[in-house]
Amino acid sequence: MFATQVLLGTLPVALFAIYVIYVQRLEALEEYNLSFGIAFLGIMVLSLIGYSVASKRYNVLISGYRGEKILVKTAKRLKGDYTIFVNLPVRYKKNRSEIDLLLIGKKGLLFIEVKNHSGVIIGTEGCALWTQRKYYRKGKVTETPMENPLRQIKRQREILKSILRANGHDVWIDSILFFSGNPGLKLNVTGNIAIASNENELTDLINDYHTETPLDSRKIDEISKVLRSCGKIN
């Protein structure tokens, strides 16, 4: 993606240089055609649009990668003995998803969904859409709707429960929504939500987590074995 971004970023400049050289030559030969110039201009515009799209996708990928690094770092310094899955693909019948971080330990089964938004996040537990508000210089403010991430978490929980039930395990599953500490991030979210906005908050939530139905070593091994068939274990 980075290579594509660089290519699309330099292509308009290269095309413009080629265009100038050819126009000069064609004009000298009195063979310049307006349609040739329009076609060249169209290619340059498409290259600029492609660069803009690639740049946005690249920034999203980089943010996601940083969020995953924070998750792995957090998992390694947790108190207690956990079986840890990172980027676990889960599928049950036609429903599929990927879980960013899944912890299985004596305290229970807990998964974390990471988001990489910035600005001010506004929403409630029951709303279909939340709002991402960004403030810029000179007083500019933008508001962008975003899908309530708790709905994605609910889908992931249902897929997990279905997989485990199909293998004879009916266990309680909890979750944490983690916004991976973008500078200036503020959360204005209400509801019965376990939510963290930085690495320390996430670590505290996991360390303080407990369930009324703890898991014994045999149960942990059996559940881990089921989930190993879904993806690689770290």
Render pLDDT for 10-62 as a digit per residue (tens, 0 to 9): 656 666 666 666 655 555 545 455 565 666 667 767 766 666 655 555 444 44
Q: pLDDT tens, 68-84? A: 666 677 777 676 688 88
Answering whether pTM is above 0.75, one says no
Tens of pLDDT, residue by residue over 78-109, are 766 888 898 899 999 889 999 999 999 998 99
Burial class (CB in 10 A: 0-12, 13-18, 19+), 50: middle
Asked whether 92 and 159 are in contact (CB, 8 A), the reply is yes
Q: What is the DSSP letter of 119?
A: S
Give 81-89's long-range contacts (Cβ < 8 A, gap of 24+). Answer: 81/105, 81/106, 83/220, 83/224, 83/233, 84/233, 84/234, 85/227, 85/231, 85/233, 85/234, 86/234, 87/231, 88/227, 88/230, 88/231, 89/230, 89/231
